[in-house]
């Protein structure tokens, strides 16, 4: 089973095998453990490199400047732009939502 191989690869150990009730019936269940020190030793250090941290900060600054320009561009201040409706601000909201999701998933 793939999950067993992943658990063993991560340094976990089987502590107990129990019978538990599930929707489909009573099944055998394995209880795994790993010591906190072992888990911390396997976690990557943040930031990985100083240059990567600086590059990430620069990327965030560039994104903030772009978003600020887009936010200013969505304000309907000219007479011809009042008929645009919610299109500019809706597009900006969608872009912000995508960037927020990417940020929370650590892609940005």
> What is this structure's pTM?
0.38
Amino acid 1: pLDDT: 65
Q: What digits encode the pLDDT tens for the residues 52-68? A: 667 777 888 888 888 88
Rounded to a whole number of angstroms, the distance between the first and last alpha carbons of the chain is: 33
pLDDT digits (tens, 9 = 90+) for 6-47: 888 888 899 999 999 999 999 999 999 999 888 888 877 665
The DSSP letter of residue 83 is G
């Amino acid at each position: 089973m793939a999950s067993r191989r992943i658990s063993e690869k991560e340094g976990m150990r089987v502590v107990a095998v129990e019978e538990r009730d599930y929707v489909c019936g009573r099944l055998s269940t394995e209880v795994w453990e790993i010591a906190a020190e072992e888990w911390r030793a396997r976690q990557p250090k943040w930031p990985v490199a100083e240059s990567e941290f600086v590059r990430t900060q620069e990327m965030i600054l560039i994104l903030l400047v772009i978003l600020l320009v887009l936010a200013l561009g969505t304000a309907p201040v000219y007479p011809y732009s009042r008929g645009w409706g919610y299109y500019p601000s809706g597009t900006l909201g969608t872009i912000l939502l995508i960037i927020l999701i990417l940020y929370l998933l650590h892609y940005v």
